[in-house]
Amino acid sequence: DAGITQSPRHKVTETGTPVTLRCHQTENHRYMYWYRQDPGHGLRLIHYSYGVKDTDKGEVSDGYSVSRSKTEDFLLTLESATSSQTSVYFCAISEVSSEKLFFGSGTQLSVL
Amino acid sequence: QKEVEQNSGPLSVPEGAIASLNCTYSDRGSQSFFWYRQYSGKSPELIMFIYSNGDKEDGRFTAQLNKASQYVSLLIRDSQPSDSATYLCAGWNNAGNMLTFGGGTRLMVKP
């Protein structure tokens, strides 16, 4: 998966708990993205980063925050998980803006 | 209305036939488009991209873009059972900061 590692691969948590998902890349790409995928909604952008400490909101950012302290790592945090955040989360990277995205293997998150 | 629309399918074709997958988009400023294949339980895999009007061929795959009509299509020739998957169409928005995906079309190739 293009040198992208997501962790954990699966997580079950309880409503109200904080959760952090990690995306690690070895490609030295500038742009990193977090998407969620749900039946009936397809892939939707949560947040993206265009450099270290440079992030912006996507289409469905409420309830999520991100951080990027190093080029290779992009963290997605659910401050207080809700059942509506049960989803498959994909990290993606691209070398330049408006170009091809490559995806990680995904994290299946279940919030009970 | 979603910015990128696809028929959810399933589209069923016999082995060896041509599968035709279509996608329409609403952002006239979109310049580049991508087709991803996603097997069940797996991540999206890039199979084609197209930036200019017309056709682009790569092996059994042909991507077509018509900016005037705002549609993108993917043709798969000599379809194989291994092509059975969900195909996602995606396009960058005019600002170039968001790759928007359609909901995907499920393709089933029957032996």
Contact across the interface for B46 and A33, Cβ inside 8 Å? no
**For residue range A8-57, what is the model confidence (pLDDT) as tens digits?**
999 999 999 999 999 999 999 999 999 999 988 889 999 999 999 999 99
**For residue range A48-102, what is the model confidence (pLDDT) as tens digits?**
999 999 999 999 999 999 999 999 999 999 999 999 999 999 999 999 887 899 9
Instruction: Give the distance from residue B11's alpha carbon to the nearest chain A alpha carbon, in angstroms.
Output: 17
Chain A segment 40-59 residues within 8 A of B by beta carbon are: 40-45, 48, 50, 56, 58-59
Q: In the structure, what pLDDT confidence band is assigned to residue B39 with cuts at 50, 70 and 90?
A: very high
Instruction: Indicate the residue type of A111.
Output: V
Nearest CA in chain A to B88: A42
Contact across the interface for A90 and B96, Cβ inside 8 Å? no
% of chain B surpassing 90 pLDDT: 85
Contact across the interface for B34 and A101, Cβ inside 8 Å? yes
Q: How far apart are CA B67 and CA B62, in angstroms?
A: 16
- Sign of dihedral through CA atoms B65, B22, B93, A73? negative
Whether residue B21 contacts residue B74, with contact meaning beta carbons closer than 8 Å, is answered with yes
